[in-house]
Structure 1
Amino acid sequence: MDFKTFRPRRRLLLAVGVAAGLVAAPLSAPLAATAATSLDGVWQMDGYGTTLAISDGKASLYSTTSISCTPAAEYVQDGARFTAEEQQAFTFRVRRDRAVMQVEGNVGDKHLRRLAKLPQLCTVPGATGPLAVFDQFWTTYAENYPFFQAKGIDWSAVRATYRPRVTPGMSDDALFGLLTSMIKPLGDAHTALRTPDERRFTGSRPGTVLPSEELEAMVRPYVEQTALKGIPFTTYANDRIGYADLPGGIGYLRVIAFLGFGNIPDYRAERDTLNRALDQILSKQRTTGSGKLRGLILDLRLNGGGSDQLGLDLASRLTNRPYFAYYKRARNDPSDPAAFTTPQPLFVQPTERTKYTGPIAVLTGGSQMSAGETFTQALMNRTPKPVRIGENTQGVFSDVLVRKLPNGWDFIVPNEEFRTLSWKSYDGPGIPPDVRTPVFTPAEFAAKKDTAFSTALNLLR
């Protein structure tokens, strides 16, 4: 489920309500393992508020909090993979009472422990009504959101303020307004609420503009006319990727998303499409010999995110040596905001395909988010180190948990941190540029200037 059609969010496969009609069948009896390596059983994920029940080649997912358990989706085993419509596939490895799940398109692994049986809350009907909606919404954020302290938000005080305002007969409009008022102060573009009739709210860092189809319709002609000045600009992968050869042996690579490269929402298909595009862009002529590029401008100023792994896949085409990208961890104790899963170090591994390994200037801005930011973070330890030019990125890195409320509304909440080698987090303020310039401002549009682009071009010449 994409809250913005242009902004394809990373689908953590544990999402709720991604595809209409996928309802997990309740399972009340214990699912005992018949062998130490049996997948069958009930599994509780470390972090992520998710329980998984596997039986006879089917996997039923439940979204859980301390007060609720909501059927999420059903997957069918297909060889070594579990698949479901409009969800990324996953693999599942078991060793006795522990298991590891790897979601295609996500970076890192999910770790699980075996339970004796399905939690009691998953076997009985859940509470309904406006108060149940409020409590499940508030509790999901309380148990998963990692950034309350960093953003100066007392979430218990939020509950004390808003819960008394919830009444049994309150209108949908009033309830929607109340819930959005709770999360708006977070200023977080990975927080959102949507109703079946397409009423929606998405947070954002103040002073920024979120990526959208409308913004892209304005920015792309501006870039082609103002920066490229008529130089041929070829697009690939459903127009998500574009490239132009600039005078002086400089390449210009624009990437507006890390998902939606093809018509099949499957990581492996997306990766193949990405590689086919990069094989043409980073051709032997441009990466070896006398025609080798002297520099590359990588424009991410408008990037709606997508798959972190696709970001690492692109990074693998920009290095000839492996290097550290970032640490990733998730909240892991509903009652302790300071408790996280063990940090997983992720690395950029050079590909065997053609690569560009020279100087890079990365154009950044507030309309760049999610996987567009983790990709930028993954480049920070590259050699030679890219120069970032423009403005701070949006400041949202985590995958999102997609959850469904008792009244059928969907909402999302982030639950992860992405940390640098020195243990810094850019969630909130975003990644700052090395060289600060205006990005897509009214003054730039009026003057028909692209200062970030021209600065990058001058630095690479």
Structure 2
Amino acid sequence: MKAIAHLLAASLLVLSLSAAAQTKLTPAQYAQDVEYFWQTVNDNYAYFDQKQTDWARVHAVYRPQADTLSSRRSLVRLLETMLGELYDHHAGLGTNQPDSRRLVPSATDVYAQWQGGRAVVVDVRRGFGAERVGVRPGAEIVQVEGVLVEQAIRPYLAQNLKSPDEAARNYALNLLLAGAHNAERRWLVRTAGTEAEVLPDRPQPLLENIRFARSLESRRIGSTGYLKINNSLGDNALIPAFDSALTALQDTKALILDLRETPSGGNTTVARAILSRFITREQYYQQHELVGEERAFGVKRKWVELVTPRGQPYTRPVVLLAGRWTGSMGEGLAIAFDGMKRATVLGTELARLNGAIYSFRLPNSRIGFSIPTEKLYHVDGTPRENYVPKVPVPPAASSSTHDVALAAALRRLR
């Protein structure tokens, strides 16, 4: 009976949100939503001290536009533009339009940076479109959809900064390369002096509705166990699956935990469930800081979180594989295993997503949005977004057919 009640409540919630999405708002309601959005970010966003964003000027520039809104689509586009002023890939809306940009890093297959005025590919996601059409680290993206990259990024650049910030340019570059949901990407790529046009979304757009055959892969490589989590750190069903797989590998001499496909993050329940299987006593695994409380009251709130042993512990050596598509909770696991000294972290630079996100909902349109509200730290005080693997592996070293990071992990465990 309880399950039926929950199902009915969920159905009513969906209908309510659907009705809100279809109901045309009044100009005053649009304005109220935009004001609520701005104020919530103003009060709760944890990383203004690391940005050049002039959030007061954002209000002055965009708030008047709220009075001209006449559709949900125009509201979403204005909110996307305002969020872009934070140039933070961990801040996002709970909805999008067909021509909205894909999420970074969850729905991307390259990561690029500006280097000496050139848009240079730093890392490529294994098995996805960019790699399949031959894009490799070190390549230069010259044009996107026939437009020089320097010009093509302009719609995605923050416009209200106190001073220029290279991080804002890199944010815009990666948003550009992510592409829109409803359009094929077309790049002109220069590699070793040779230019070629590539179409990463042909024959099919692999970045739309990414699905994995299994949320957890498990196998033996000789006497070493191997567990790979495929972007499922937010699914509580992973807990019993992980427990079962780890128990089956208890007799191995060492273990490799592969988190290179966890870009969408997850929740701390799943993370603590995983960590708890590798320790024999309670241990601290990460620090938190709620910045908004100090901003409001002048009193700093900071704490350290514990994880408690659970089930039969795996006590043999562990190597954790991480990389550019290890994001959010995946990054949290990396710093936790490192801080508890229960794994050697090996790989490339991580996603570098800021902090822990909290979710909010606009009062009239019911559009949801998430922003980083807590700063997170390694137990040694290192900000999570600055953490780098203790054993680095160059991004160019691995591909779908040649996994140098995995080979390096196996060598380390011999």
Which band: TM-score by shorter chain? 0.5 to 0.7
Question: Cα offset for 1:254?
Answer: 0.5
Cross-structure match for 2:302:
343
TM-score (norm 1): 0.56
3-state SS, counterpart of residue 282 of structure 1: helix
Q: Distance in 2 between matches of 1:338 and 1:209?
A: 42
Secondary structure, counterpart of 2:28 in structure 1: coil
Equivalent pair of 1:398/1:414 in contact (CA under 8 Å): yes
Q: Give 1:424's aligned amino acid.
A: T
CA distance in 2, matches of 1:239, 1:167: 47
Match of 2:256 in 1: 297
Residue aligning to 1:278: 243
CA contact (8 A) 1:187 1:204 kept: no
Match status 1:411 vs 2:369: yes
User: Do the aligned residues in 2 keep the contact of 1:319 with 1:350 (CA within 8 Å)?
Assistant: yes
Which runs of structure 2 are paired with 1:32-43 in the superposition (5 Å)? none
Give the corresponding residue for 2:402.
449
Summarize the Cα distance change of 1:393–1:331 in structure 2 as closer, same or farther, 3 Å threshold. same
Separation in 1, partners of 2:380, 2:98: 42
> Contact between 1:326 and 1:346, CA under 8 Å: does it hold in 2?
yes
- Secondary structure (helix, strand or coil) at the match of 1:391 reads coil
Which residue does 2:40 correspond to in 1?
140
Q: Contact 1:302–1:367 (CA<8 Å) still a contact in 2?
A: yes
- Matching residue's letter, 1:349: T
Q: Residues 444 and 19 of structure 1: is their aligned pair in 2 closer, same or farther, counting only changes over 3 Å?
A: farther
1:367-395 deviations in Å (ceiling 9; x for gaps): 22222222222212223542332222342
Does 2:358 align with 1:393?
A: no
Q: Which residue of 2 aligns with 1:363?
A: 321
Give yes or no for contact 2:332–2:384 (8 Å, CA) kept in 1. no
SS in structure 1 at match of 2:389? coil
Structure 1 residues 76-95: Cα deviation after superposition (integer angstroms, max 9, x where no partner): xxxxxxxxxxxxxxxxxxxx
TM, length-normalised to structure 2: 0.62
Correspondence for 2:281: 321
The question of whether the paired residues in 2 share the 8 Å contact of 1:373 and 1:396 is answered with no
Match of 1:436 in 2: 392
Shift of 1:326: 1.1
The structure-2 alpha-carbon separation of the partners of 1:195 and 1:307, relative to structure 1 and needing over 3 Å to count, comes to: closer
Spell out, residue by residue over 1:53-92, the C-alpha distance to the aligned partner (whole angstroms, 9 max, x if none).
xxxxxxxxxxxxxxxxxxxxxxxxxxxxxxxxxxxxxxxx
Show the counterpart of 1:177: 77
Amino acid at match of 2:282: P
The equivalent of 2:231 in structure 1 is: 257
How many Å apart are 1:311 and its aligned residue?
0.7
- Looking at structure 1, the residues matched to 13 and 305 of structure 2 have their Cα atoms a distance apart, in angstroms, of 30
Aligned to 1:244: 219
> Which residue identity lines up with residue 382 of structure 2 in the other structure?
K
Paired with 2:234 and 2:302, the residues of 1 have a C-alpha distance of: 29
1:458 to 398, 411, 414: 411
Please give the per-residue CA displacement for 1:341-381, whole angstroms capped at 9, x wherever unaligned: x3232122222x22212222111122222222222222122
Alpha-carbon offset, residue 200 of structure 1: 5.5
Match of 2:61 in 1: 161
Compared CA separation, residues 336 and 203, structure 1 to 2 (3 A): farther
In the alignment, is residue 192 of structure 1 matched against residue 92 of structure 2?
yes
Deviation at 1:276, TM superposition (A): 4.9
Distance 1:171 1:378, change over 3 A: same
1:190 partner SS: coil
1-side partners of 2:34 and 2:246: how far apart? Answer: 50
Paired position in structure 2 for 1:225:
none
Residue 328 of structure 1 aligns with an amino acid whose one-letter code is H
1:279-328 superposed Cα distances (whole Å, 9 cap, x missing partner):
34333xx43xxxx3222111101112222121111111112233210122
**Cα root mean square deviation, aligned:** 3.9
More helix by share: 2
Runs of 5+ in structure 2 lacking a partner? 1-10, 18-25, 112-124, 133-211
Which amino acid in the other structure matches residue 190 of structure 1?
Answer: H
